[in-house]
Amino acid sequence: MSTNSEAFPILPDKTVRRVGFGAMQLAGPGVFGPPQDRERALGVLRRAVELGIDHIDTSDFYGPWVVNELIAEALHPYPEGLLLATKIGAYRDQHGGWPPLGHPDALKAQVQDNLRRLRREQLDLVYLRHTVDQPGYTFADQVGALVELREQGLVRGIGLSNVSVEQFEQARAITAIAAVQNSYNVVDRRSARLLDRTAELGTAFVPFFPLGSGFAGSSRAREDAVLQRVAEQRGVTQAQVSLAWLLQRSPNILLIPGTGSPEHLADNTAAEQVRLDPGEVAELDAVVAEGSGLEAPL
C-alpha cells in the first residue's frame, strides 16, 4: 500500500498530484448539452485550480464540445503546470449515444478538434478509447495514428482507455504508453490484472467511475454498508473512503473524481489526507461485485 499524498510522474517530464478532476459531469444531464448552471460549472473549474489540482480529464465528446469549451473559457490562458488529458475514439449521436469513431483519419481529426476547442497547440495526454474492432483498420493502426501526431508535436503522451491486458501489451510493443484509463473501484475490479501490470511498469492507471460501482443487488448494498460504517468511524464522507481505498490500492493510481459541486470538489480533493488502517482496507477488499470475475479478498 502507498501513501496518499505523493505525486506521480504521469509523463517523463510531468508529475501530478494523485487526485485530479474529471470534468465530464460539467455537461448537462447524461453528459449531453450545456450545464444547467454555466457560471457554477465555470466556478468549479476555477476552484479546482485554486485547490492545487494540476490534472484535469476531459473530452470533446463530453457535451459534445461543451466541457472543452467551458475549460477554455474558465482557465485559458492555462496555469503553468496544469495537465489536460482528453479522449478520442467516439462521438455523440443525436440521441446522446456514444458510437465508436475509430478510423485513424477520424482520430487525427478529433485531436485537431480538441486542440481548437481547448485553445492549445499541443495536447498533454490523449487516450485512445477502444471499443470494438471495425473493418478497414486495426488497433495497431489506431495507435500508429497517435504516434504520428506525437511526432508532429501535437500530442505529448499517449494513453489507452477501456483496454485489456493483451491490448495494452500490443500497444506497448508499438510505442510508450503514458497511462491507462479503465473502470475500477471498490466493487468493480475486473481490471485488477491490468492495474497490477501497469504498476509493475510504473505506468499511470487512472480509474474512471472511481465512486460508482455500476453494479446492483447484494454486492452494492454490502459496499454501501461498509463504506458508511468506515466513513462514520472516520468522520469523513463515503466518497472520501472510496477514493482513499483506491489511493492505497496501488501507488500508480491517479484519481479523477468528477462533480459539478464546489463542495464535493473540495471533499474529493481532501481524500488525499485520509489514511485507512489495515482492518478498514481488509473490509473494503472483501467487497466484490457479482460478475466482477474476482473473489474476495483481492
- Please list, residue by residue across 184-213, b when 16 or more beta carbons sit within 10 angstroms of its beta carbon and e when fewer do: bbbbbbebbebbebbbeeebbbbbbbbbeb
91 is catalytic: no
Q: Which whole-number Å values give the CA distances from 240 to 76, 177, 212, 286, in the listed order?
A: 30, 29, 12, 18
Cα separation, 6 vs 19, in Å, equals 10
Contact assessment for residue 296 and residue 285, using Cβ atoms and an 8 Å cutoff:
yes
Cα separation, 63 vs 117, in Å, equals 12
Cα separation, 236 vs 230, in Å, equals 8
Q: Using omega within 30 degrees of 0 as the cis cutoff, is the peptide bond preceding 64 cis?
A: yes
Q: Using omega within 30 degrees of 0 as the cis cutoff, is the peptide bond preceding 297 cis?
A: yes
Cα separation, 289 vs 281, in Å, equals 16
Nearest to 198 by CA among 140, 256, 252: 252
Cα separation, 17 vs 61, in Å, equals 25
Contact assessment for residue 254 and residue 55, using Cβ atoms and an 8 Å cutoff:
yes
- Owner of C-alpha cell 504520428: 148
Mind telling me the catalytic residues? 62
